[in-house]
Amino acid sequence: MQPDLNALAVFALVAEERSFRAAADRTGVTRSAVSQTMKRLEETLGIALVQRTTRSVSLTEAGERLYAGIAPAIADMRAVMETTGDMRGRPRGQLRLAVSSIAERFLSGPFLATFAEANPEVQIDITVTDEEFDIVAEGYDAGVRLGEVIEQDMIAVSVAGDERQLAVCAPAYRDRFGAPAHPSELAGHRCIGWRRAPKVAPYRWEFAENGKEFSVAVAPEITTNDMALMTKLALAGAGITFGMEESFRPSIDRGELVAVLEGYCPRFAGFYLYYPSRRNVAPKLRALVDHLRRLG
């Protein structure tokens, strides 16, 4: 038997109030509607649940047993409804994010640390991934990706300004093998490549010349999906690698890495926090958006 949850909720009110009129007032319907609902429930169960007189309503033995069985569940549902309603007012709950591994500024300690401190009732769950998937279907509240790969039906908020990718190597590698003068010369160099997932071709290095964009399919001697490892290998003199300038900037500033082919590396729209277009954005996600805008 499929339970009629609406009828059970009405019965619980009748049992609590011992009055059809009072139950009707609490539900916002007519007394006749409550009476019809009760009649339908009794017909479904095949037994009387209440006894009515002109002045009072009392429960039969079957009614008492039914009410004792459903009352805890009704109370739990009401508590959950109240708690859910409270979530409209303040940020709370788990905030699931899927973030690109090269979104350096977003993944930096200070940004997330200050957000967590300002929102102690929000539990942040971050998956660092470069896989491309539907964040909604996978249960994420939002994602962080380069603007060029975000679907047009998403709301996108800039994480940082324009970005660019650089080709870099250690000074020792440059001194030993020379620096390429044009991206086409990368074929003659040892390269450290990146791929976003197993069984996926290495990323083609993207450049621009005279306003026209083009890409080069290098043949990496070493390929990985870990930008940190790529940086370590470049620092060790293993070859030329290619990635986001922010990832390499500390090593460049310390003189541990040098940029090559810099004139062929254009700037482009950077990373965005994106999420589905909804009429009501959850407070936890709204708080993250506001935090991002304040610090931007």
d(CA 51, CA 73): 24
- Within 8 A by CB and 6+ apart from 181, the residues are none
* Single-letter amino acid code for the residue at 89: G
In percent, how much of the chain has pLDDT > 90? 49
SS3 173: helix
| 11 against 174, higher pLDDT | 174
C-alpha–C-alpha distance, residues 273 and 140, integer Å: 12
Residue 296 is predicted with a pLDDT of 65
pLDDT per residue as tens digits for the range 177-206: 999 999 999 999 999 999 988 888 999 999
Q: 5-71 and 93-161+270-293: same fold?
A: no
The residue extents of the domains of the chain are: 5-71, 93-161+270-293, 164-268
**Is the distance from CB of 246 to CB of 267 less than 8 angstroms?**
no
164-268 topology per CATH:
D-Maltodextrin-Binding Protein; domain 2 (3.40.190)
Which option is the CATH number for 93-161+270-293: 3.75.10.10, 2.40.30.10, 3.40.190.10, 3.40.50.10860? 3.40.190.10
Task: Report in angstroms the alpha-carbon separations of 64 from 4, 26, 51, 169, 178.
Answer: 18, 21, 11, 80, 89
CB atoms near residue 287 (< 10 Å): 20
Distant-in-sequence, close-in-space partners of 189: CB < 8 Å, separation ≥ 6: 177, 180, 239, 240
The span from the CA of 275 to the CA of 156, in Å, is 7
CA distance 278 to 270: 24
Give 122-162 pLDDT, tens digit per residue: 999 999 998 888 898 888 999 999 988 888 888 999 987 78
- pLDDT band of residue 77 (cuts 50, 70, 90) is confident
Q: Specify the range with the lowest mean pLDDT, choosing from 3-12, 162-171, 253-262.
A: 3-12
Gap between the Cα atoms of 125 and 127, Å rounded: 7
- pTM beyond 0.85: the answer is no
Q: What is the mean pLDDT of the chain?
A: 89
**225 or 56, which is more confident?**
225
Topology annotation, domain 5-71: Arc Repressor Mutant, subunit A (1.10.10)
